[in-house]
Amino acid sequence: MLTNDELAKWDRESFFHPSTHLGQFARGEAAQRIVTGGEGVFITDRDGNRLLDGFAGLYCVNVGYGRPEIAQAIADQAKELAYYHAYAGHGSEANITLAKMVMDRAPDHMARVYFGLGGSDANETNIKLVWYYNNILGRPEKKKIISRWRGYHGSGLMTGSLTGLELFHKKFDLPLAQVIHTDAPYYYHRPDLAMSEADFVAHCVARLEDLIATEGADTIAAFIGEPVLGTGGIVPPPEGYWPAIQKVLDRHEILLIADEVVTGFGRLGSMFGSDHYGMKPDLITSAKGLTSAYAPLSASIVGQRMWDVLMQGTDEYGVLGHGWTYSAHPIGAAAGIANLKLIDDLGLVQNAAEVGAHLLAGMREAVGGHAHVGEVRGEGMLCAVELVADRDRRRFFEASETMGAKVVAAMLKRGVIARAMPQGDIIGLAPPLCLSREEADQIVTVTRDAIVEVLGPGSA
């Protein structure tokens, strides 16, 4: 067996890691962690650490690590039929069964599911379908996509453009011209502290209306949004936001894409965020929770009115020219079936609601009064603590102070993985949905101790 040092050297010399500071990593100046295993909500690494994974990998290992049922399903599928493509009407028992299971769980007006590999490609699929739809309806000018600042929709060319975070645009010549951004529904960051939540929703609606008026509704095809902003800061929408946005979109015949890559399959304590907030999307994007990341698989779920036009399109123009070699991969599908069964059998959607509420309440109690905590927020099994320099004046820290990252590092020392969200000083938590109350309490204690270590006792 290779020594830790040998493996770390190969890592630095061979492996191009995603979302990593490449220079620091190659020079050995950045953190390296070689993960060896996982069980429940814990992972282990080659340095002998056992860490409570408060972010479920990248909010994806929803059923927790080391589930033998999913491992067995993958092994059985690999032996029986590792692969056959799904082009031209081919299928396997696994991908057909999973399609039925997804449609049984999706909101009522959804009609079909297309399987890809990850969240980015599922969003690419959905955007292509939106363009195809408007071409079939004879509206070739209606193509722009509205996304929100702080939204996260992936890091491809189109999806990186939809993402509203500077890091994903800078020096990549993004966003592409067809993508326009509107305001994030981020009440804590409202432009005027005197605004009520209702005022702020009205402000977001007015900003959207202005954008539509400036660009022309006949040039705008769709609006994409996560039910709860994820990577942009874990921000649940203000009360009434989605119904108000939906009204505007309906009036201008703008389709709604609900990006449920994080929220789909239980994370908010509901099967889908769309149901949770009364959204009526034409398309749903999902991935992570579909297989709990035991195998790569995504789902683009299309609503009835989209499906009717897609069928019309292929009647007029022939086969839909869209698909990948690995679309609907049988091994991913087998993992998905076993995963969705586990979610049902273990009552994990309910657990996300209950233990998530316990985590949020505990966090508010433990750190909500700290002089450098601006807001503690969350929904279901998502929770965020936003740090500020001055809580009364809502003054943020300078980015160079990296306060969020410092607190996350202090948490790691205490055995809990949290995520320093990429923009702002936000400590993000998105544990597996099987988290217990005791594990939630451990996260709370560690968060409090880490904040006190970095920012002092800070009694308000």
Residues near ligand PLP (CB under 6 A) are 58, 118-120, 123, 152-154, 226, 230-231, 259, 261-262, 287
Closest to ligand PLP by CB, 92 vs 291, is 291
Nearest approach, Cβ of residue 166 and ligand PLP (Å): 17
- The DSSP-derived string for 273-312 is HHHHHT---SEEEE-HHHHTTSS--EEEEEEHHHHHHHHH
Closest CA to 387 of 456, 305, 304, 288: 456
- CB distance 335 to 290 below 8 Å: no
Cα-Cα-Cα-Cα dihedral sign, residues 265, 278, 420, 180: positive
Q: Which residues of 236-265 are buried (b: 16+ CB within 10 A; e: fewer)?
A: bbbebbbebbbebbeebebbbbbbbbbbbb
Nearest approach, Cβ of residue 427 and ligand PLP (Å): 17
Nearest approach, Cβ of residue 223 and ligand PLP (Å): 14
Closest to ligand PLP by CB, 230 vs 374, is 230
Closest to ligand PLP by CB, 38 vs 227, is 227
- The DSSP-derived string for 354-416 is HHHHHHHHHHHHHHTT-TTEEEEEEETTEEEEEE-SBTTTTBPPPGGG-HHHHHHHHHHHTTE
Q: Quick check: helix, strand or coil at residue 447?
A: helix
Closest to ligand PLP by CB, 269 vs 289, is 289
- CB distance 259 to 27 below 8 Å: no
Closest to ligand PLP by CB, 226 vs 375, is 226
Which strand (E) or helix (H) includes residue 426? strand 426-429
Nearest approach, Cβ of residue 60 and ligand PLP (Å): 8
Nearest approach, Cβ of residue 352 and ligand PLP (Å): 17
Radius of gyration of the chain (CA): 22
Closest to ligand PLP by CB, 258 vs 363, is 258
Closest to ligand PLP by CB, 336 vs 362, is 336
Nearest approach, Cβ of residue 225 and ligand PLP (Å): 9
Nearest approach, Cβ of residue 370 and ligand PLP (Å): 28
Distances (CA, A) of 423 to 125, 182, 183, 379, 402: 27, 17, 15, 20, 10
Nearest approach, Cβ of residue 116 and ligand PLP (Å): 9
Closest to ligand PLP by CB, 10 vs 15, is 15
Nearest approach, Cβ of residue 259 and ligand PLP (Å): 5
25 conformational bin, left if phi > 0, alpha if psi -120 to 50, beta if neither: alpha
Name every residue whose Cβ is closer than 8 Å to that of residue 438 and which is 6 or more positions away in sequence.
none
Closest CA to 173 of 160, 183, 184: 160
* Distance spanning both ends of the chain, measured CA to CA: 53
Q: Quick check: helix, strand or coil at residue 3?
A: coil
Q: What is the separation of C-alpha 141 from the centre of its chain, rounded to a whole number of angstroms? A: 30
Nearest approach, Cβ of residue 323 and ligand PLP (Å): 17
Which residue do the tokens 């966003």 mark? Answer: 175
| Residue 109: CA count within 13 A, CB half-sphere | 14
Closest to ligand PLP by CB, 245 vs 451, is 245
Closest to ligand PLP by CB, 154 vs 356, is 154
Nearest approach, Cβ of residue 58 and ligand PLP (Å): 6
Closest-by-Cβ residue to ligand PLP is: 119
Closest to ligand PLP by CB, 231 vs 274, is 231
Closest CA to 435 of 338, 365, 350: 350
